[in-house]
Amino acid sequence: MKQFGLIGKTLSHSFSKKYFTEKFVQLVLKDHVFNLFEIPIIEDFPALWQSKEGLVGMNVTIPYKEQIIPFLDALDDSAQKVGAVNVIKITNNKKLIGYNSDYYGFKTSLEYEISNFKNDIHTALILGTGGASKAVLVALKDLNIDFKIVSREKSKADYTYEELFKCTILPHLIVNCSPLGTFPNIEECPNIPYHLLSEKNMLFDLVYNPAETLFMKNGKSYGAKTQNGLDMLHLQAEKAWEIWNE
């Protein structure tokens, strides 16, 4: 039996288990299974993976994309570049190699959205400073889009959310890398000056459940183009599958 899984703190609303279970059925892989591995602290990780017979690959989600790194044997170029891991491959000799497929998923999805957008995208705001934001940051650099980071803590970012309300215009692209608005907390959203938005702006929410977050609804009400994280999620999942089967 080949076992795959997702590591995180709270996984009850995970996309991965359903996605990969359906994939195994479609590919008639009866000896493949995908499980959810909730751990309260990252220090529980070594005992977890060593106890799972046949484990060959894992995804990593909030809040462990950065915390997982010291427990791995090596990092692929993608993970080194981003500084966060969301895919782990277990080699035949039981070595744990970290990868980042968030970068690929976000960059590919954003490039498609930009190609179908009538306005230019030269500047961006990244909302949040977690592991996913690191992949977004590198992707924006590679696309030559200037960006600033927003956080509740000034020491971690260029702006606090409060400081945004002193602005008179907002960058072309705003990417929500925070979990705000994720089901079941659908009445939450990043605190930004939505009234400054127009049809010249694009809002990209990494959240995919619900399909339209309050962040997106607010942006759309002022004419902004919106995109959720579902395409990115599919792309990064397929990249993970490719990594596990290399």
Catalytic residues: 65
127 CB contacts (<8 Å, ≥6 apart)? Answer: 133, 150, 174, 175, 176, 177, 178, 190, 192
Structure tokens at 218: 């607010």
246 touches 59 (CB < 8 A): no
Non-local (6+) Cβ contacts of 144 within 8 A are none
Q: What single letter denotes the amino acid at residue 237? A: A
Within 8 A by CB and 6+ apart from 119, the residues are: 172, 199, 200, 202
Q: Which amino acid, one-letter code, is at 70?
A: P
